[in-house]
Amino acid sequence: MSRSSDFEICVVGLGAMGMGAATSCLRAGLKTSGIDLDAGRRDVLAAQGATTAASIGQLSGDFDAFLVLVVNGAQARQVILQPGGLAGRVKPGGAIMVSCTQSAEDARALGRDLEAKGILMLDAPVSGGSAKAAQGAMTVMASGSDAAFDALAPVLEAVAAKTYRIGPDIGQGATVKVIHQLLAGVHIAVGAEAMALASRAGIPLDMMYDVVTNAAGNSWMFENRMKHVVDGDYTPTSAVDIFVKDLGLVTETGRALGFPLPLASTAFAMFQQASNMGHGAEDDSAVIKTFSGITLPEGQS
- 300 occurs within a structural domain: no
Q: How far is 280 from 59, CA to CA, in rounded Å?
A: 34
Please state, as a whole number, how many other Cβ atoms lie within 10 Å of the Cβ of residue 227.
14
Compute the distance between CA of residue 275 and CA of residue 114 in angstroms, rounded to an integer: 35
Provide the domain limits for residue 257. 176-290
Residues 222 and 78 in one domain: no
End-to-end CA distance of the chain: 49
Q: What per-residue confidence (pLDDT) applies to 2?
A: 45
Burial of 35 (0-12, 13-18, 19+ CB in 10 A): buried
Q: Tell whether 113 and 197 lie within a shared domain.
A: no
Q: Is 163 contained in some domain?
A: yes
Number of neighbours of residue 105 by Cβ within 10 angstroms? 15
Looking at residue 300, its pLDDT comes to 41
Number of independent structural domains in the chain: 2
Cβ contact 43:74 at 8 Å: no
Give CA–CA dist 45/42, Å, rounded.
Answer: 5
Residue at a domain's end among 139, 169, 199: 169
63 and 145 inside one domain: yes
| CA–CA separation, 111 and 16 (whole Å) | 25
Query: Rounded to an integer, what distance in angstroms lies between the CA atom of residue 166 and that of residue 189?
Result: 28
Q: How many helices (H) and strands (E) does the chain have?
A: 12, 9
Give φ, ψ of 178 to 5 degrees: -60, -45
- On whether the CB atoms of residues 243 and 185 are closer than 8 A, the answer is yes
Query: Using an 8 Å Cβ cutoff, are 111 and 121 in contact?
Result: yes
> What's the pLDDT at 37?
96
Residue 301 lies in a domain: no
Do residues 129 and 236 share a domain?
no
Judgement on whether residues 217 and 146 belong to the same structural domain of the protein:
no
Q: Which of 31, 91, 117, 177 is catalytic?
A: 177
Q: Which of 117, 135, 169 is the last residue of a domain?
A: 169
Three-state DSSP class for residue 265: helix
Residue 241 CA to residue 39 CA, distance in Å, equals 23
Query: Same domain, yes or no, for 92 and 181?
Result: no
Residue 297 within a domain: no
Pair 139, 199 in one domain: no
Residue 289 among the catalytic residues: no
CATH number of the domain enclosing 230: 1.10.1040.10
Q: Where are the alpha helices (DSSP H) in the chain?
A: 16-27, 39-46, 73-81, 104-116, 129-135, 146-151, 153-159, 172-200, 205-213, 220-231, 240-256, 262-274
Domain C-terminal end among 169, 185, 220: 169
Q: State the pLDDT at residue 4.
A: 56
What pTM did the predictor assign?
0.92
Shared-domain flag, residues 145 and 185:
no
Q: What is the pLDDT of residue 226?
A: 98
In a domain, 128, yes or no: yes
The whole-number pLDDT of residue 301 equals: 43
What CATH number did the domain enclosing 162 receive?
Answer: 3.40.50.720
**Does a structural domain hold residue 67?**
yes
Asked whether residue 296 is assigned to any structural domain, the reply reads no
pLDDT in tens, the chain (301 residues): 444 569 999 999 999 899 999 999 999 999 999 999 999 999 999 999 999 999 999 999 999 999 999 999 999 999 999 999 999 999 999 999 999 999 999 999 999 999 999 999 999 999 998 889 999 999 999 999 999 999 999 999 999 999 999 999 999 999 999 999 999 999 999 999 999 999 999 999 999 999 999 999 999 999 999 999 999 999 998 999 999 999 999 999 999 999 999 999 999 999 999 999 999 999 999 999 999 999 999 874 4
Q: Is residue 215 part of a domain?
A: yes
191 shares its domain with 151: no
The answer to whether residues 140 and 203 belong to one domain is: no
Cβ distance 120 to 87 under 8 Å? Answer: no
